[in-house]
Amino acid sequence: MKLLQERVKDRPAGENLIIRTAVRLMIPFIQLYGLYVIVHGHYSPGGGFQGGVVLGASFILLALAYDLRTSLRFMSERVNAVLGNVGVLIYTGTGLLCALLGGLFLDYSALDRILPLGPVEWRSLGIFVVEVGVGIAVMSIMTSLFWDLGSGGEMDEGL
Partner 1 sequence: MKAFAFLATLATGVALLYGTKDFAAWGDAASPASSHVSPVYIERAVEQTHVPNLVTAILGDYRGYDTMFETVVIYCAGLAVVCVLRRQKS
Partner 2 sequence: MEQLLAEIVAKYNYWIYVVLMMIGFYAMIGKRNLVKKLLGMNIFQTAIILFYVSIGVKRGGSIPIVDKHAALSHGIDATQVINPLPHVLMLTAIVVSVSITGVALAILIRIYRQYGTLEEDEILEKIGR
Identity of the residue, 6 or 114, whose beta carbon is nearer to partner 2 in the bound complex: 6
135, 87 contact by CB (below 8 A): yes
Of 53-92, binders to partner 2 (CB under 8 A) are none
**In terms of Cα–Cα distance, which of 73, 63, 66, 89 is closest to 142?**
63
Identity of the residue, 116 or 153, whose beta carbon is nearer to partner 2 in the bound complex: 153
Residue 20 touching partner 1 (CB under 8 A): no
Dihedral sign, CA of 141, 111, 37, 20? negative
Of 52-81, binders to partner 1 (CB under 8 A) are none
Residue 150 contacts which entry, partner 1, partner 2, none (Cβ below 5-8 A, type-dependent): none
Residue 116 touching partner 1 (CB under 8 A): no
- Range list of H helices, 40-157: 48-65, 68-74, 77-100, 119-151
CA 149 from chain centre, in angstroms, equals: 17
Instruction: Provide the greatest CA pair distance for the chain.
Output: 63
Where on the chain is the footprint of partner 1 (CB under 8 A)?
Answer: 41-47, 84-85, 87-88, 91-92, 95, 106, 108, 120-121, 123-124, 126-127, 130-131, 133-134, 137-138, 140-141, 144-145, 148-149, 152-154
